[in-house]
Structure 1
Amino acid sequence: MSMLITNARLITVPAGTDDPGYIERGWMLVEDGRISAIAAGDPPVGTTADETLDVDGAFVAPGFVSSHSHLFTSGLRGLGVGETLYGWCDSMLGMTSGASPEDIYWSTLHGAIDFLSNGVTTAYNFTDPLQSWERMVDGKRVGDAPMRALDYHTRQADACADAGIRFVDSIGMDATVGTDAEIHDRFAQSVAHTRSLDQDLALGASIMGQVQWSPRDDAAAIEVEAMRALGVTNQAHFLESPEAVPLQQSKFAMYRDAGALGPGMMFGHFIQTTPEIIEQAAEGGAAMSWQPASNGRLASGVALVPEMLELGMKVGMGLDDQACTDISDPWQNMRMGIVMQRARTKDPLSMMPERVLRLHTLGGAEIMGVADRVGSLEVGKFADFVIVDPRRPDVGPLWHPVRTYVLSMSLRNLTKVYVGGELVSERGHSTNPLAAEATVRVHQQLPQIAARLGYPA
């Protein structure tokens, strides 16, 4: 199948430059799910396709990449509103402690379809771990919560694939349960399942780094061993909460001394840092995932993103839990990032629209290790793109189109979303045949779980 898009305001976000790659009027040809040509003006005479789509001056831009997401949380919005990170986790993950593999499948499917309908075509997805959440004691989990069967993880990976979102599957090692050999074998089985799925959708497997709250002093070494043995990346929730900051900071040495710092290591949030921690992470080649909307919602603080970028650290943006951003809106996330950094630095140049757009597309793909396939509109990459109409509703003259795209567009302007050249959402309505059932299941199952648990109290 092929598609020819014409009369488009193209924003390509090309690799190797900070230029957003804006083309005032251009065209793009999609063949077999990938971009085969893209250029300014009209397509050459004789260019044909199975479908021609004249977008009449609308923006055509890369689908957004969320480099830090928890898709299973889509039905848990509005919980723990008066809490910081750990209290919020108690309220939200206390609910999923009672979920079955099928419950978590439908919750994840619901979340993935929600992302796609909002223009997010690729996600780094933290799966709900096999070991249930526990309350924090002295800055770490006790480590004795019950374990669920392996299909609790695999059904979450299945849901992402069934939704049609591209994803990197992030899996907890649950390193407090079993011998080291059992821990590694269990993790390897999960990775093998992810790698058995459609590799055009399941773009990779990764570790959900758990050092921040693990009671094991050698948790980082366990993760690094798995990274090297299985060729997977790692993203750790790290230095996020404003609580027990010295204790959190002391754990950075665990990753450093275990040899984790490198291109395969990402730190999610990375707020309660020191200059020395940032310098060592940057020098080692580690990356950072920035979640401004989540960081504000949970009163976590503001990460020093411009300073990290200045040191050469790679940064991507994520929408985090749907339960702590409430609306999985990448435009809202970008604008929050801009205003938070400008308010902190009192310098408008510290975060410009062009930069934040790159961080939420190609930047996210880069830190996830998938920029060869997604994150920009370039020949050879998957044809994952959004169509955004600046006239419905109208925002006035486009004095600087790329900046207007970031600052003035919203989900109201998002008309269509494509993955691999296939329409997956139109005006917020999913084309996935499972979408209606996902809605029914989430509305039925989550209240049933809450009733069983006597939750929320």
Structure 2
Amino acid sequence: MTQTTCLYPQYLIPVEPAATVLSDHALVIRGKSILDILPAADARRQYAEASHIPLATHALMPGLINLHAHSAMSLLRGLADDLTLMEWLNHHIWPAEKQHVSDEFVFDGSCYAMAEMIRGGTTTVNDMYFYHDAVARAGVQSGMRTIVGCSILEFPTNYAQNADEYLQKAMNARASFENQPGIDFRLAPHAPYTVADATFQKIVRTANQHGIGIHCHIHETEDEINSSLQQYGMRPLQRLHQLGLLSQKLIAAHVVHASDEEITLLANTGVSVAHNPASNLKLASGFARIHAMQNAGVNVGIGTDGAASNNKLDLLGDIRLAALLAKAESGNPSALTAHQALEMATLAGAKALGMEQQTGSLVPGKFADLIAIDLSYIETQPLFDPVSQIVYASGREQVSHVWINGQCVMQERQLTTLDQGALLSKAAWWQQQIKPQSC
């Protein structure tokens, strides 16, 4: 018989309808899905035979969706800090990856990242890296809802020699996990400055033919834009638009530098943006115009980027940062309210992935991807508005429970699908392998 579980939080924050907070309500899970949301007294009566879990000091809300990450790079955390993007990539990250990245590296690093993300309330990750099978296996192992972004570049790495080989390996990996619940794939051309026109066109044709989404770094730095102007006589977004890349299939990571006309173009073509506030600040990339994008109708979610450039996979922390930066960048303290910021990291992320009918909000029939945050901590009392406290005051250590696909993957801060001790041992082993690179 399918297990039925009733959860009784102090506050239930469904995200849909917008700006809603329910008190004295229960959420009912049956199998993988949300079965019901109803008053607590009715739940106790109608589902008397279910398992009943009190969450008397908690807020229950949708799991967070990390819209842009490089999970395996958790093993490179702190390797090369306080550098510009291209110096960081060319002289530190890419050389380290050339020496160490393998199927084993990617599996271990992805599992480690997924453990960190689960502990911080993330239930879905939109990844971008190499060794796609290893990322997918880590998602299966951890229970994380995983979108495997298959990196595509023109130059060789440990994984492939050219763009055609990257693309072929992406399609092979997708076929291998075609029937695996919770695992999906996207084509992930790295960036306009690492992918040629012909490859972008091939990616668009493949994506359209097979119904696959696309995930790409775009307009991350001013140098990227200036280089494109010199090489192509146009800005990257204009070039990508001419190549047919801009559509509802595309998640554009970063978009730190966008003119009014480009924001309108993003809105008109249905492109979603993955805002990465922490890594944008750490790499001094600039201040994305999130308030202007949202006013224009662009769907914007939040990503952590990789642990090598953040250095935390802490989506709760990035929600707060996104809200504060939007106010400062726009000069408007009402920009990106707490409710709007929370929606960015949940329902907006689901919309970007084309999964808003399956996850991103607490609605009967959707997957049971949800988290409980304990608001009884001294840092979140007194409590006048639970959403405000979650966005502006809570920390990831207050996430007590996480359910993905109805499975409790963390209970009272204890991971149930991953072995914390084994993960720490693996991290220590990799530290010794990589350490000469940082000396």
User: TM-score scaled by structure 1?
Assistant: 0.87
Identify the residue that residue 327 of structure 1 maps to in structure 2: 312
**Counterparts in 2 of 1:234-253, with a 5 A limit?**
234-248=214-228, 250-253=235-238
Deviations 1:203-250 (A, max 9, x none): x21111234222523232122112112211111101112324323462
Mapped partners of 1:406, 1:356: distance in 2: 7
Deviations 1:245-270 (A, max 9, x none): 32346222332112222110121000
Please tell me the residue identity of whatever aligns with 2:295. Answer: E
Any idea what SS the aligned residue of 1:409 has? coil
Please tell me the residue identity of whatever aligns with 1:379. Answer: P
Deviation at 1:385, TM superposition (A): 1.3
Please tell me the residue identity of whatever aligns with 2:144. Answer: I
Identify the residue that residue 93 of structure 2 maps to in structure 1: 92
Deviations 1:109-166 (A, max 9, x none): 1111111111100010112x3xxxxxxxxxxxxxxxxxxxxxx331122112111100
Aligned pair partner of 1:340 in 308, 319, 325 = 325
Mapped partners of 1:161, 1:421: distance in 2: 14
Identify the residue that residue 409 of structure 1 maps to in structure 2: 394
Mapped partners of 2:208, 2:276: distance in 1: 27
Deviation at 1:176, TM superposition (A): 4.9
Mapped partners of 1:439, 1:210: distance in 2: 30
Residues 220 and 254 in structure 1, CA contact (< 8 A), matched pair in contact too:
no
Identify the residue that residue 135 of structure 1 maps to in structure 2: none
Mapped partners of 1:175, 1:157: distance in 2: 23
Mapped partners of 1:7, 1:187: distance in 2: 42
1:190 aligns with 2:173: yes
Of 281-290 and 430-439, more deviation after overlay is shown by 430-439
Aligned pair partner of 1:4 in 6, 10, 14 = 6
**Counterparts in 2 of 1:52-451, with a 5 A limit?**
52-90=52-90, 91-97=92-98, 98-127=100-129, 129=130, 152-176=131-155, 184-196=167-179, 198-199=180-181, 201-202=182-183, 204-214=184-194, 216-248=196-228, 250-393=235-378, 395-451=380-436
Identify the residue that residue 33 of structure 1 maps to in structure 2: 32
Structure 1 residues 257 and 7: alpha-carbon distance in aligned structure 2, compared to 1, 3 A threshold? closer
Of 374-383 and 385-394, more deviation after overlay is shown by 385-394
Deviation at 1:48, TM superposition (A): 2.6
Residues 370 and 402 in structure 2, CA contact (< 8 A), matched pair in contact too:
yes
Structure 1 residues 194 and 347: alpha-carbon distance in aligned structure 2, compared to 1, 3 A threshold? same
Mapped partners of 1:215, 1:354: distance in 2: 37
Deviation at 1:328, TM superposition (A): 1.9
Any idea what SS the aligned residue of 2:192 has? helix
Deviations 1:160-192 (A, max 9, x none): 211110011100233456787655433321221
Alignment gaps of 5+ in structure 2: 229-233
Any idea what SS the aligned residue of 2:378 has? coil
Residues 27 and 41 in structure 1, CA contact (< 8 A), matched pair in contact too:
yes
Mapped partners of 2:51, 2:381: distance in 1: 30
Of 74-83 and 208-217, more deviation after overlay is shown by 208-217
RMSD: 2.1
Of 93-102 and 298-307, more deviation after overlay is shown by 93-102
Any idea what SS the aligned residue of 2:76 has? coil
Mapped partners of 1:100, 1:181: distance in 2: 19
Deviations 1:389-443 (A, max 9, x none): 2112352232222212211211232222222332212454322244432221221
Residues 278 and 321 in structure 2, CA contact (< 8 A), matched pair in contact too:
yes
Mapped partners of 1:420, 1:184: distance in 2: 30
Residues 6 and 42 in structure 1, CA contact (< 8 A), matched pair in contact too:
no
Mapped partners of 2:196, 2:303: distance in 1: 28
Of 83-92 and 305-314, more deviation after overlay is shown by 83-92
Identify the residue that residue 141 of structure 1 maps to in structure 2: none
Structure 1 residues 237 and 410: alpha-carbon distance in aligned structure 2, compared to 1, 3 A threshold? same
Mapped partners of 2:304, 2:412: distance in 1: 20
User: TM-score scaled by structure 2?
Assistant: 0.91
Structure 1 residues 181 and 448: alpha-carbon distance in aligned structure 2, compared to 1, 3 A threshold? closer
Identify the residue that residue 41 of structure 2 maps to in structure 1: 42
Mapped partners of 2:381, 2:176: distance in 1: 49
Mapped partners of 1:276, 1:322: distance in 2: 33
Residues 239 and 245 in structure 1, CA contact (< 8 A), matched pair in contact too:
yes
Identify the residue that residue 148 of structure 1 maps to in structure 2: none
